[in-house]
Amino acid sequence: MIRNALAPLMLALSACASLPVGTAAGPTATPVQLHQRVGSFAQPTQDGRLAALKAQLDAAKLPYVVEDFAGKRTTGPGHNVVVRTGPETGKAILLTAHYDAVVLPDGKLVDGVVDNAASVVSMIETMQRVAGRTKHPVILLVTDQEELGLVGAKAYVEQHGTANLAAVINADINAYGDTLMHGLNNGAQSTGITKAVRDLCTAEAMSCLDFPQYPPSDDLVFSGAGVPTVSLGFLPKTEAEALKVFLADPAAAMKAKTPMPAILGLIHTANDKIEKVEPATLAAAAEVFTSLVMKLDTDLP
C-alpha cells in the first residue's frame, strides 16, 4: 500500500472548475480511474497499446498527432504521439514517456504497465491539468520503441530538433511506491531543473532520492542534445535505495552477491502486471509532474 509520506503531496493541488493562467487545474480523475486506464494498456500487440493511448487522449479531449518513423520493428513503422497545449510560439516544456513494451523470447508482449503505461497515464492527467494555463507551450511526447534503443525519441529530435525546447521532463517507472527518484546524469545544463525538483521535494515534504547514475531512458536523447532534462520515477524507499546502490557499481554489487533490486526482476518480464500498480502512486506522480511543469513555467524566461 502507498505510504503516509505521500499525504502532504496529495493535498497540494485542489480541484477547481475555473482557474486563471498560471494556476493548474485540479485532478480530472480519481486514483481508481487512473489505475483502470493503466490496465487498458495490457494488450497483445503494440498496435493495441497505441489504440489504448489514442482512446485515452480522445476521452481527455486532448488533440494529438501521430508521427510515424521507420524504426527498428520488423512488423512496421513506429508511431510517436504528440500532444500540444499553450501558446503557439516560444520555447516549450516537453513531457516524455514511452508507451511501448518489451517482447519476450516466446514472442509475447509483456503487459508493460509498470514499464511504462503508469507514467503515460499520469502524464495525460498532467496535460489535462495544465492545458491553457501556462505561458510556455507544453508538449507531451509519448514515444514508441524506447525499448528498442530510444528510437522514438531519436526520431522526434531528428524531425523537430531541440532549439525550441526549454526543458524536458521524462517519466519512466511511476507505478508504485512513495519515493520520488530523479537522475543527476543529464549534464551541467540540467542543474536548474534538478534544483526545481529538489525545491519541490522540500516544499511538499516528500521522500525523494537522487541518483548519480540513473537508469537510461528517453531523457538521454534530449540531454545529449544539450537540453535541460530530468528523469523521474517512483519506488518504495528501501527499493529505491537498493537500486541506487546497485546502479552505482553493478559489477561490485554482483561480486558482493548483493540482492538485485526487486524492480529489475519485474520490468521486461511477464511479472509486469496491473496488480503491482498502486492507484495512489499514479495520482502522486500526476501531482509531481503538474507541480514541476507549473514551477518551470514560472521560473523559465
In 144-289 the beta strands, taken as DSSP E runs, fall at: 165-171, 179-183, 207-211, 229-235
- Each residue of 167-218: pLDDT tens digit? 999 999 999 999 999 999 999 999 999 999 999 999 999 999 999 999 999 9
pLDDT over threshold 80, residue 10: no
What is the 8-class DSSP label of residue 108?
A: P
Structure-block grid coordinates of residue 251: 559489477
Strands 165-171 and 207-211: unpaired
Confidence class for position 74, pLDDT limits 50, 70, 90: confident
- Each residue of 126-178: pLDDT tens digit? 999 999 999 999 999 999 999 999 999 999 999 999 999 999 999 999 999 99
Selection from 200, 136, 206, 145 nearest residue 166 by Cα: 136
- For residues 153 and 10, which has the higher predicted lDDT (pLDDT)? 153
pLDDT at 13: 38
Percent of the chain whose predicted confidence (pLDDT) is above 90: 87
pLDDT at 19: 63
pLDDT at 189: 98
pLDDT at 3: 38
3-state helix, strand, coil split of the chain in percent (to 5) is 45, 20, 40
Confidence class for position 259, pLDDT limits 50, 70, 90: confident
CB atoms closer than 10 angstroms to residue 248 = 12
pLDDT at 104: 96
Q: What is the pTM of this model?
A: 0.93
pLDDT at 145: 98
3-state secondary structure of 143: strand
pLDDT over threshold 60, residue 4: no
CB atoms closer than 10 angstroms to residue 246 = 19
Sign of CA dihedral 139, 91, 188, 153: positive
Confidence class for position 20, pLDDT limits 50, 70, 90: low
- For residues 149 and 6, which has the higher predicted lDDT (pLDDT)? 149
Which domains, from first to last, does the chain contain?
20-299 (3.40.630.10)
Q: In which element (H, E) is residue 80 found?
A: strand 78-85
Percent of the chain whose predicted confidence (pLDDT) is above 70: 93
